[in-house]
A = this chain, B = another copy of it.
Amino acid sequence: MSVSTAVAAKPSQTTSQMPWMTSAFCDDSLSGDLGPTGSVLHFPPDRAIYEEGDPARSFYKVVSGVVRTCRFLSDGRRQIDSFHVEGDVFGFDIGGEYRLSAEAVSECTVIAYRRRGLDAAAAVDDRLARQFFTHAMTCLARAQEHSLLLGRGTAVQKITTFLMEMAERGACDQVIDLPMSRQDIADYLGLTIETVSRTLSHLERDGVIGLPTARRVVLKDRRVLRGMMA
Copies in the complex: 2
**Contact in complex: B71, A144 (CB < 8 Å):** yes
CA–CA, A64 to B152, complex, Å?
A: 29
Can you offer 16 A-B residue contacts whose CB atoms are under 8 A? A71-B144, A71-B148, A74-B230, A94-B133, A99-B141, A100-B144, A123-B126, A123-B130, A126-B129, A129-B130, A136-B136, A136-B137, A136-B140, A139-B140, A147-B147, A152-B190
Give the dominant DSSP class at A's interface: helix
**Contact in complex: A94, B137 (CB < 8 Å):** yes
A71 surroundings in chain B (CB, below 8 A): 144, 148
List residues of A whose CB falls within 8 A of some B CB.
71, 73-74, 77-79, 81, 93-94, 99-100, 119, 122-123, 126, 129-130, 132-134, 136-137, 139-141, 143-144, 146-148, 150-153, 189-190, 230
New A-B pairs, 7, CB < 8 Å, besides A100-B144, A126-B129: A73-B148, A81-B144, A93-B137, A122-B126, A129-B129, A143-B144, A150-B190
Given contacts A99-B144, A133-B129, A143-B143, contact A152 B122 (CB under 8 A): no
